[in-house]
Structure 1
Amino acid sequence: MINKGIPVYLLACTTLFSCQSTKSNNGQEIVLKNTASTSLTDKAIAIKRDNFADTAAQGLYPVLLTQKGDTIASQLDDLDGDQQWDELFFVIDLPANGEQVLNLTWVGTQPQYTQRTNIRFGKRSAKDKPVQPKTNDTIHANQLPKSIGYQPYQTDGPTWENDKVAFRHYLDGRNAKDLFGKKVSYMSPEDVGINAAGAVEDNYHVMHEWGRDIMAVGNSVGIGGVALMIGDSFPRLGVTANDSINNVGNTAFNIVTEGPVRSKTRIVYNNWQPEGTSRSYTLEEQPTIWPGMYAYQNTVKVTSGLQGDETLLIGMNNLDTTSTLEEIPVDDEWMILLTHDRETYNKEWILGLALIIPKSSYLGYTEAPASGKLAQASFAKLKVEGNKPISYYAVGGWEQSDEGFKDAAYFRSYVKSLAKQISAKVNVQVRQ
């Protein structure tokens, strides 16, 4: 498992109370209380290291057991990159208004669990070199495929995946988010996007046992991609496949953590100079995925360059205009933007798409121009402040993953239920 650190603001949905440390490596319990009137499935739980005994940090690994003796897969993640873990993470099912008590022990050998999340990232250093797996990379403005003469990245950039769905980011300057539809719960092969000789190859637009790339992206930012609206203009963060020089000075990517129940990446856009302006921005995003949902979480912030006339845009591709965009409020916390049509290659399959956006930042939605470098997209508009992170969820429901997604009402119900699952608060107590 790769652990490179995750941000402290991730998963604010979990509340910690009345925790105490102990000097014993055994006999601890974690008490989880679901405060919501709905049952929770694969609920994400994150507990910070300072709620455990100091001895638990000395090269030991947690083992979590239910009262029935079932093992709960977990992982330790480094939040700040100092090579020491800062957070215990796991997912769990909880009954409505119910309680679950887990027995916690610490062991000297890292347990092995079924992989329910994964990140795939590879690059070739030259056209005639094979793809090698990597955990980080930086692409500069003059290193686009059009200028160097070949595509350096496996699947055009990193892929993150869980047991339901997979997404990928075009790190090659386009900065859109694509979707791989899955038909299986196991992780897709590590060699997707490369051939037997190790060369980059588009071999994922045909159906495999696990699934395939299904979504048509065009010049949109894909599902959950990021842009800024400056005044009333729509400059693209990055370029299209026909460009040879990027408008982003350099883009830095790294895998933050990759484990059985959570995988996370970080992408930083340094010195983005939007076309037609003299401005320069730095943006950061952190796509994260855990099991059980047809979605990923993204956390975005603008760290420099804001002048006050900007609006953060979170996108959904809109190449099939059959479905009218729906705006669905969920309680006081979330706003859903949703379409249900054939946003797939050759409009072959139904693919429901949705964004789950925090109401506290939501300013309505807008449409991108019909043509141009940023086009054929719907956008949620969000308030943006310097260095203030905003977390949201991007959802994709393919009819081959779940036949129910053929039906608009079924998909709508799923997304609303997911929003309520995300909102549900779980109180956590660590005790002797």
Structure 2
Amino acid sequence: MARILFGKTVLSLSIVAIVSACSPQPATTDLSTDSAFATNSSANNFGTSDDATLATLFVSNPSTFARFQQTLIIPFYDLGLTAAQAQALVDQQAGENVASQLIDHNGDGSKDSLLLQLDFVAAEQKQLTISSNTERFNAQQLTKRTQAEISHKIGGEWQAEKYIGGEFKNVSELTPPPQYTDHSEWIRYEGPGIESDKVGYRIYLDWRNGFDVFGNKTGKPVLHSIGLDGYSSYHNMADWGMDLLKVGKSLGAGGFGYWDGEKVQLVSNISGHTAKVIEDGALYSALQIQYKDWQIAGKTRQLTANLAMTAGSRLVHTRLTTSEPIDNIAIGLVKLPKTTLLQGKQDIPGHSWTYLATWGEQTLTGGSDKMGMAVLFKKGTNKQITGDEHSHVAVLTPDSNELEYYFLSAWDGEPGGITTEAEFVAYLEQEIEKLTMPPRLSLKTAYSEQQKTTTLTADVALDWSERLAASEMQRQTPYYAYGGWDYERQRPSKWEYTTGLQLQAYDDLLKLRPNAQWQQVLTDVIDSFITPEGDIRTYKISNYNIDSLNTGNMLLREYQRNPKPQYKQALDLLRKQLSDHPRTKEGAFWHKKIYPHQLWLDGVYMGMPFLANYSQAFEQGHAFDEVVKEFTISRAKLRDPATGLYFHAWDEARQQEWANKDTGLASQFWGRGLGWLAMALVDVLDIIPADQADLRQPLLDMTTELAAALVKVQDAQTGTWYQILDKPDATGNYLESSASSMFTYFFAKAVNKGYLDARYKDTAIKAYQGLVDEFILVHPDNSVSLVNTCQVAGLGFGRDGSYEYYMSEPVFRNDAKANGPFIMAGVQMAKLLGTN
């Protein structure tokens, strides 16, 4: 059996088959008693003779409050398992119960993920070991705590729009006939239902598309008993609770529609619905509703809604997918008297979650009981908070054709329910933090670990670079071309620094591992942005965005291989930006025009290697002094003498919220920010000739002192670095892959080039081994992912520069800001370990 270690508590997990409960009656989940997967290779067996370890999962709570029944969803793909191999559920063998369920998370009809639920105290860390077992055992019986169902009558007859007689039958899928409408009395409680042990919801499967609330007094699922005796019963208080909400023509308790500028257009004008029960399990249940041929905004679109709930939660995770993008999706809440409208913080980063909520006497019980309702959404998707006569509305802009949000209700009639507005707001704030800062995860799978056992050599380092490059060539790289799609940012591809970073990494790799097909992709991506007249598509010089210059390095490489006149004109355009770019009083470049008077570490990398490269190629190096000046000002303004580390940014005007009013400095040592500076140092030292010692020496001195500072904050166990470098033990902090890749590149290249002495070779090797061990995940198709990357971090526009802010930004995988440096670090390690 698998062992799960929670501190000193030993729990056991086994991989077995699960059969989702489909009965409308409450029941325990029916489980197989046989292990469904056992590894074939003895190399997989990292446990006892009875165990075959599949994965070790390290999980931490990034909050300073407890998180009970925290849900984790782990795709089979990440576990290194095919869907056929992964038949998984946690089985209690000692001490505590770890609940799990095999689920279809993406709603396509096939199981794809393992769901776990765990309790955490504040800032707690847990370690789980998931193993398969070849022996038979008595599987645990899970109490059913969620439910999804849809039920319609059979055995009666249609009389016009009414269904007369018959009895209800639960089905897994239902498409109502054309005559079906509201109050036809054919579908039990008028639509599909979904619930947890906290609260239930129903979705009207008719022109209203309203979302209603079933208040639950029992603390266990009740949908199966609602409405069996007709349509009036659930409007009266019963032992289980009652229908709480008057929805009318509103969005109800979190429904969706379209905002036409004046009012909500409901999802009414369609050719039909199909509702499906995707999951009906102990811990997780899910519905899918397909809306056919929605006529809206002058177009016909297909719309799919996936709705899911987990045990112990009031939230419904809602994912909308449209056949074409739709701006102005409206989500919201019914507008009722005797309620207070509540709104979450808006001056926050775009990736952070916020809410629109109501609290007050808004139930149909006839008493003075209270209920809160809310919709939760990412701030960056929100265009407007508004409303019409029926609904309070948040108008959202989806990412392409997909939109994610949550809705919830909290009734004071629940067992232990929320009873005051202050309690409701505090609850919402915690739910928002849980969405913004999900648990920190580090997954080590047997499938991945098998492929990491080879002794590190030059070829092994190049192999990892090549494997990640090959994986990205399938996932993203060709689509960086103009007219393509940036899957990381969910927007059309643009001329931006991430494109150049990724392509330069390929170009470095191809010098040691030539690949004509890949080389052509690099050329095609760059060429797609350059017009015959030498303009750069999507680039605006008037933005004075120093980030835009980094891809100029790759453009210069292409020009040197194929000197097209338009390439040179485009390079001159980028150079002109730096000639006119606004600067601080001492001459440092502003990060962007919209970030006035600000010097950021990021900008040193974005601008200075390009300026040095351009000046070497076309100006006989006349701008080298400007390049070095940017570094020396950065050192003077951003370096902390006590630690040798650099703060993320400096505001000369001392006006920004994030800036210290006395010094103008940001407050944190952000890993990737310093990583940009470290890479810039060794890249620029490559360009300035050795005979210009007066210009090189300041950069060499910075390299030496930075190396000493970085070694002090390198994690002793893994060899990698934290998101916030000097706070390894702070709640929520995590080992971060982009900064770790950048520092590895810095050390390896600096030793290779003689900028650092040979004693740092061991530092580079330890760091590189840590990159592979901590951040590389191998999938069943043998593609690889690089995980645990801070997607983005900046300052201003709701980003206050606090430690908590850096913890709130999303943690991603396969981000160019980590992929590029990882590939380049492998190239430098190959050289360090012996490749010429």
Task: Give the TM-score normalised by structure 2.
Answer: 0.43
Residue 236 of structure 2 corresponds to which residue in structure 1? 206
Aligned mates of 2:294, 2:58 — CA distance in 1:
46
CA contact (8 A) 1:404 1:411 kept: no
Task: Tell me if 1:89 matches 2:111.
Answer: no
Aligned mates of 1:82, 1:90 — CA distance in 2:
20
Classify the secondary structure of the residue corresponding to 2:176.
strand
Partner letter of residue 233 of structure 2? N
Partner letter of residue 214 of structure 2? F
Aligned mates of 1:56, 1:230 — CA distance in 2:
43
Residue 126 of structure 2 corresponds to which residue in structure 1? 100
Give aligned-pair identity as a percent.
Answer: 23
1:51 pairs, out of 78, 87, 98, with: 78
Shift of 1:341: 1.3
CA contact (8 A) 1:43 1:421 kept: no
Deviation per residue, 1:258-313 (Å, 9 max, x gap): 21111111111111224xx753222221111012222212112322374xxx4110
Seen in structure 2, the aligned counterparts of structure 1 residues 268 and 362 have a Cα distance that, compared at 3 Å, is same
Aligned mates of 1:57, 1:23 — CA distance in 2:
18
**Any stretches of 5+ residues in structure 2 without a counterpart?**
1-18, 23-40, 46-50, 158-163, 447-836
Task: Tell me if 1:327 matches 2:343.
Answer: yes
Task: Give the TM-score normalised by structure 1.
Answer: 0.81
Classify the secondary structure of the residue corresponding to 2:52.
coil
- Give the alignment of 1:372-391 within 5 angstroms: 376-384=390-398, 386-387=400-401, 389-391=402-404
Aligned mates of 1:346, 1:191 — CA distance in 2:
19
Seen in structure 2, the aligned counterparts of structure 1 residues 65 and 104 have a Cα distance that, compared at 3 Å, is farther
**Any stretches of 5+ residues in structure 1 without a counterpart?**
5-20, 239-246, 371-375
Residue 358 of structure 1 corresponds to which residue in structure 2? 378
Aligned mates of 2:184, 2:357 — CA distance in 1:
36
Shift of 1:398: 0.8
Shift of 1:339: 1.3
Seen in structure 2, the aligned counterparts of structure 1 residues 219 and 208 have a Cα distance that, compared at 3 Å, is same
Seen in structure 2, the aligned counterparts of structure 1 residues 124 and 53 have a Cα distance that, compared at 3 Å, is same
2:281 pairs, out of 256, 259, 265, with: 259
Aligned mates of 2:67, 2:293 — CA distance in 1:
42
Aligned mates of 2:87, 2:266 — CA distance in 1:
46
Deviation per residue, 1:85-131 (Å, 9 max, x gap): 31001221123332112343435676431111111310114433211
CA contact (8 A) 2:210 2:251 kept: yes
Shift of 1:250: 1.1
Residue 292 of structure 1 corresponds to which residue in structure 2? 312
Partner letter of residue 354 of structure 2? M
2:435 pairs, out of 410, 418, 422, with: 422
Classify the secondary structure of the residue corresponding to 2:147.
strand
Partner letter of residue 343 of structure 2? E
Aligned mates of 1:105, 1:35 — CA distance in 2:
26
CA contact (8 A) 1:3 1:78 kept: no
Seen in structure 2, the aligned counterparts of structure 1 residues 405 and 40 have a Cα distance that, compared at 3 Å, is closer
Partner letter of residue 245 of structure 2? M
Structure in which a larger fraction of residues adopt helix: 2
Aligned mates of 1:325, 1:137 — CA distance in 2:
36
Seen in structure 2, the aligned counterparts of structure 1 residues 153 and 347 have a Cα distance that, compared at 3 Å, is same
Residue 373 of structure 1 corresponds to which residue in structure 2? none
Residue 206 of structure 2 corresponds to which residue in structure 1? 172
Task: Tell me if 1:313 matches 2:330.
Answer: yes
Aligned mates of 2:208, 2:82 — CA distance in 1:
46
1:135 pairs, out of 172, 175, 179, with: 172
Deviation per residue, 1:158-209 (Å, 9 max, x gap): 11111111111111332111001111222115131112xxxx4332112222
Residue 18 of structure 1 corresponds to which residue in structure 2? none
Shift of 1:431: 4.5
Number of aligned pairs? 387
Residue 144 of structure 2 corresponds to which residue in structure 1? 115
Aligned mates of 1:231, 1:291 — CA distance in 2:
38
Seen in structure 2, the aligned counterparts of structure 1 residues 69 and 103 have a Cα distance that, compared at 3 Å, is farther
Task: Tell me if 1:230 matches 2:260.
Answer: yes
Partner letter of residue 311 of structure 1? N
Aligned mates of 2:130, 2:399 — CA distance in 1:
40
Task: Tell me if 1:33 matches 2:70.
Answer: no
Deviation per residue, 1:231-275 (Å, 9 max, x gap): 44532212xxxxxxxx2101111111121111111111111224x
Residue 15 of structure 1 corresponds to which residue in structure 2? none
Partner letter of residue 365 of structure 1? I
Aligned mates of 2:82, 2:275 — CA distance in 1:
34
Seen in structure 2, the aligned counterparts of structure 1 residues 299 and 186 have a Cα distance that, compared at 3 Å, is same
Aligned mates of 1:236, 1:62 — CA distance in 2:
40
